[in-house]
Chains A and B, each alone.
Chain A
Amino acid sequence: MPVAGIDVGSKLTKVVIMGENKKVLSYVVMRTGTDHKKTSEEAFEEALKKAGVAREDIKKIVATGFGKISAPFADEELTQIMAAGKGAYYVRPTTRTVIEVGAEESRAVKLDENGNVKDFALADKCAAGAGSFVDAMIRYLEVTPEEFGQLALQATRAIPMNAQCVVFAESEVVSLLHSNVPKAEISRAIHDAIADRVAAIARRLDIQDDVLLIGGLAYDIGFIDSMKRELGREVYVPEEYPPEVIPAIGAALSAL
């Protein structure tokens, strides 16, 4: 019988339906909004529909992210660390270091060759909010998320910017904008700054290859580029599934 994994994030809610053979039958991503229960309910229904599975046929539902409080119909809870670890190992078994960057939280997880979590680190408060910072910057620069990532690749110059915290960073971005720095360079500066903060978390673990980047920000090619530079090594992103659904996959796996 199939199982489900549900990840209610601060920005996006993700649901995965998985068959007994560990095959992903469907996934759904939806904006979380303020009524978490309603969203998780809706996303779940839609995922069932897409997978063509009836609700009664689901053997077990495991929730991660905000957990059961937001998805009361779930049977069990899994922490985000475990979810990220399991999901990452599933999509790329050679992964030893998982770096997840979402809207509000970032985390790094170290795995052994069997996919067990060996150590983990979370963003300190002042380093949190990477994804939503990007969202705000996209608005500032009046570009689309895709353009924002692309722009960074066109920069010819790296402008140092402090990313100690997104609040500080915002005022630096404003300063840059007002001194007529080209958008490409600003985009690069922002990406570098976030990568810098995220790398700082990952460095608490002794980073080993392969490094897999998951979470919504793994869409952003500018960010991937900055991460590679910052860590001085190859950084992979999931190929088959969108990067933000990996933890939901992890949750589904633990339901099997």
Chain B
Amino acid sequence: MVTVQESEYWRWPESIWVDESKNWQDAEVISCGIDLGSVSTQAVVMLDGELYAYANMRTGTSSAASAEKAVNAMLEKIGDMKRDDIHYIVGTGYGRVSIPFAQKTITEIACHGRGAVYVYGDKVRTVLDMGGQDLKAIKVDSRGKVINFLMNDKCAAGTGRGIEVVCDLLSIPITEAGQLSLQVDEEPEPVSTTCVVFAKSEILGLIRKGWGKERILAAFFNAVASRVVELLERVGVEPEFAITGGISKNIGVVKRIEDKLGLKALEPKYDPQLAGAIGAALFGRALYIKSKK
């Protein structure tokens, strides 16, 4: 049998962080949010509604174990905090129903809306969450409450997984793809579709035609951006807009969305991939206070 070496170009780095300047024992409410996504899992701890620690890891095959792993990694980094010290845990994301230790679950749509206000400030009105499986365009008020939202139809797979597949196809590490795609003199025509399957066959055609990787990526991201803008325009985009989720780290996609909208996305104060977990933790705090009343 022939074995073929598989490189993992789609892999992006995991990270764990703690705000060393804070002492968690001083906090009145310690809340935790876990965003168990299809691709990545984030856990955050907030002290009285301020970000204190997080872990950002890849989702494994078992939801419960992935949540467990992220929380433990984070607690380990904090050092002396135990899970029991947390007052309230809220789960969100795809796998939210299978986080055994979460007291409550809330959808990632509500959490991203809420979290976006924390990450980007209360001016933000349109939140675009670009994750592994879904695209979501969310309109929020100044508190981060969802007014309206739209998710991509199934047939518009311009999602994180799609990007992973294409990076794999081109053998380009996903973290570099965005930057690379900007190194073209002239923006090529978008590939005609963002459906992963169609796009792949088109990209194979481009490879055959001898297109450079930069140009192919540019054409692909251009298409992804078109699809996203279409979704945004369907909910009605307002100038103060922000991008959350993993793809917000892909400058190649972000820049093209901005160009198409003629708007600049807000600058995040924290890692935007955390928005969902942050939102969950903030809801956790509110729920805890509510339960004490």
Direct contact of A and B (CB under 8 A): yes
- Residues in chain A within 8 A of chain B (CB atoms): 10, 12, 29-31, 33-34, 36, 66, 69-70, 104, 125-126, 128-129, 132, 135-136, 140-142, 165-168, 170-171, 174-175, 177-180, 183, 219, 242, 244
Answer yes or no: B248 CB below 8 A from chain A CBs: no
Task: Say yes or no: B94 contacts A129, CB within 8 Å.
Answer: no
**B63 contacts A177, C-beta separation under 8 Å:** yes
In the complex the two chains form, is A168's CB within 8 Å of B154's CB?
yes
The chain A residue with its CB closest to the CB of B172 is A34
B193 to chain A, nearest CB (A): 9
B56 neighbours in A (Cβ, 8 Å):
none
Cα-based distance from A129 to B6 in the complex (angstroms): 18
Which residue of A has the minimal Cβ distance to B193?
A125
* A/B pair count, beta carbons within 8 Å: 83
User: Would A136 and B63 be within 8 Å (CB), given that A29-B4, A33-B171, A69-B208 are in contact?
Assistant: no
B21: interface (CB < 8 Å): no
The residue in A70, A135, A141, A171 that gathers the most chain B C-beta atoms within 10 A of its C-beta is A171
Task: Taking A34-B213, A132-B200 as given, write out 17 further A-B residue pairs in contact, using a Cβ cutoff of 8 Å, ordered by the A residue number.
Answer: A10-B200, A31-B5, A36-B208, A66-B208, A104-B200, A104-B201, A125-B198, A141-B61, A165-B197, A166-B196, A167-B155, A167-B162, A167-B195, A171-B133, A175-B94, A180-B64, A242-B1
Chain A min CB distance to B218 (Å): 15
- Given A34-B207, A174-B94, A179-B97, CB of A140 within 8 Å of CB of B2: no
Q: How far is the CB of B204 from chain A (nearest CB, A)?
A: 5
Q: Is the CB of A219 within 8 A of B1?
A: yes
| Chain B minimum-CB-distance residue to A219 | B1
A177–B61 touching, CB < 8 Å? yes
17 A-B pairs with C-beta separation under 8 A: A34-B207, A36-B207, A125-B201, A129-B196, A136-B161, A136-B165, A141-B61, A142-B60, A165-B195, A166-B197, A167-B157, A171-B133, A178-B98, A180-B64, A180-B98, A183-B61, A242-B1
A242 CB contacts on chain B under 8 angstroms: 1-2
Are the C-beta atoms of B133 and A104 separated by less than 8 Å?
A: no
The 5 closest A-B pairs by CB, nearest first: A29-B2, A178-B95, A167-B157, A174-B38, A31-B4
Contact assessment for B38 and A10 in the assembled complex, using a CB-CB cutoff below 8 Å: no
Q: What residue of chain B has the Cβ atom nearest to residue A178's Cβ?
A: B95
Main secondary structure of the interface of A (DSSP, over half): helix
Q: CA separation between A148 and B159, bound complex, in Å?
A: 25
Q: What's the nearest-Cβ distance from chain B to residue A115, in Å?
A: 26
Contacts of A33 in B (CB 8 A): 171
Asked if B170 is at the interface (CB within 8 A of a chain A CB), the reply is yes
- Chain A residues with Cβ under 8 A from B157's Cβ? 167
Tell whether B62 is near chain A: CB-to-CB under 8 Å: yes
Which single residue of chain B is at the shortest CB-CB distance from A142? B61
Residues of chain B whose beta carbon lies under 8 Å from any beta carbon of chain A: 1-2, 4-6, 36, 38, 60-64, 94-95, 97-98, 133, 154-155, 157, 161-162, 165, 169-171, 195-198, 200-201, 204, 207-208, 213
In the complex, are the beta carbons of A34 and B97 less than 8 A apart? no
Q: Check if A167 sits within 8 Å of B1, measured CB to CB.
A: no
Complex Cα–Cα for A66 and B60 (A) = 36
Of A12, A104, A166, the residue contacting B204 (CB under 8 A) is A104
| Contact call A178/B94, Cβ cutoff below 8 A | yes
Q: How far is the CA of A244 from the CA of B161 in the complex (A)?
A: 27
Q: Are B200 and A34 in contact (CB under 8 A)?
A: no
Known: A34-B207, A66-B208, A104-B201. A178 touches B97 (CB 8 A): yes
Are B61 and A140 in contact, CB atoms less than 8 angstroms apart?
yes
B154 surroundings in chain A (CB, below 8 A): 167-168, 171
Chain A residues in 8 Å Cβ range of B198: 125
The listed residue (A171, A180, A219) touching B62 by CB distance below 8 A is A180
**Closest beta carbon of chain B to A6's beta carbon, Å:** 15
Asked whether A125 lies within 8 Å of B197 as measured between CB atoms, the reply is yes
Separation in Å of the A256 CB from the closest CB of chain B?
25
B20, chain A: closest CB distance, angstroms: 34
In the complex, chain B residues whose CB is within 8 Å of the CB of A12:
4
- Measured in the bound complex, the distance between the Cα atoms of B3 and A12 in whole Å is 11
Q: Which residues of A contact B94 (CB under 8 A)?
A: 174-175, 178
B201: contacting residue among A128, A141, A142, A168, CB under 8 A: A128
